[in-house]
Amino acid sequence: MRAKPARVAILISGTGSNMDAILRARDGINADFVGVISSKPGVEGLHKAEAHGVPTAVIDASAFAVRRDFDDAVADQLEAWGAELIVLAGFMRILGADFVRRFENRVINVHPSLLPLYRGGTAVEDALADGAKETGCTIHVVVEDVDAGPVIIQRPVPIEAGDTRDTLHRRIQAVEHELYPEAVQRICAGEIHLDSLGDDQPGVTALAGTPSG
């Protein structure tokens, strides 16, 4: 059990619904939420973070001609806050290899599928196009390849007859709002060690949650 609270920062780009779910669960998480960074100004998630009393910063991605300069600005702010765990919650930017190496095994993300299935930005549409019976959501470690990092925890979501992208995405998101706080809680409690996860680790499958109803 980790004695000292982890210093956690959250990165967003929009409404911040997953961020809000995590912050609503903060009383059960052994963490200090040191700040929220948005890649866009004026988004709803910034107001939610402020309502939770968490410091915010806007680093407008559109103001940077070079991606690495944006990544460096985000990284500098995270280091100024002393962030130990970085949570991507609807952060609509792909972070470069230098950023990932700078914060190796300290960045996590949520993805709307049971990875390694349906990587990329059209995961919900791809599951529907495949005629899959279920999809789900995955919390994973961020690595240099997109959606390719070790699985932390994942949970299936059934695909129902007549599902559209919107109806399926809403059900996946409802599960995300339960699973992401759980993952952050378990990491901050010292139950899950990001630097020891891997495809051959025996305990990874056991971390999966129960199916959503």
Portion of the chain with pLDDT greater than 70, in percent: 92
Residue 197 pLDDT grade (very low, low, confident, very high; cuts 50, 70, 90): confident
pLDDT of residue 30: 96
Range in 78-82, 180-184, 209-213 the model is least confident about: 209-213
H, E, C per residue of 118-153? CCCCCHHHHHHHCCCCEEEEEEEECCCCCCCCCEEE
The contacts of residue 138 (CB under 8 Å, 6+ apart) are 110, 111, 113, 114, 115, 151, 152, 153, 154
Residue 198 pLDDT grade (very low, low, confident, very high; cuts 50, 70, 90): low
Range in 22-26, 157-161, 201-205 the model is least confident about: 201-205
Find where tokens 């990875």 sit: 115
Q: Is the pLDDT of residue 174 over 80?
A: yes
Q: Average pLDDT of 84-107? A: 96
Range in 26-35, 57-66, 155-164, 197-206 the model is least confident about: 197-206
Q: What is the rounded CA–CA span in Å between residue 173 and residue 145?
A: 23
pLDDT of residue 210: 33
| Mean pLDDT (the chain, rounded) | 92
Q: What is the rounded CA–CA span in Å between residue 163 and residue 166?
A: 8
Q: What is the rounded CA–CA span in Å between residue 80 and residue 97?
A: 20
Q: Is the pLDDT of residue 213 over 50?
A: no
Q: What is the pLDDT of residues 23-75, one digit of tens each?
A: 999 999 999 999 999 999 999 999 999 999 999 999 999 999 999 999 999 99
Q: Enumerate the active-site residues.
A: 111
Q: With b meaning 16 or more CB within 10 Å and e meaning fewer, what string describes 109-125?
A: bbbbbbbebbeeeebbe
Strand (E) or helix (H) holding 158: strand 151-158
Q: What is the rounded CA–CA span in Å between residue 1 and residue 8?
A: 17
Q: What is the rounded CA–CA span in Å between residue 74 and residue 181?
A: 23
Strands 6-12, 85-88: pairing kind: parallel
Q: Average pLDDT of 8-16? A: 98
Question: Rounded to two decimals, what is the model's pTM?
Answer: 0.91
Q: Is the pLDDT of residue 203 over 50?
A: no
Portion of the chain with pLDDT greater than 90, in percent: 89
Q: Is the pLDDT of residue 21 over 60?
A: yes
- Which residues does residue 155 pair with via DSSP β-bridges, in sequence order? 137
Domains in the chain: ranges and CATH: 1-103 (3.40.50.170), 110-213 (3.40.50.170)
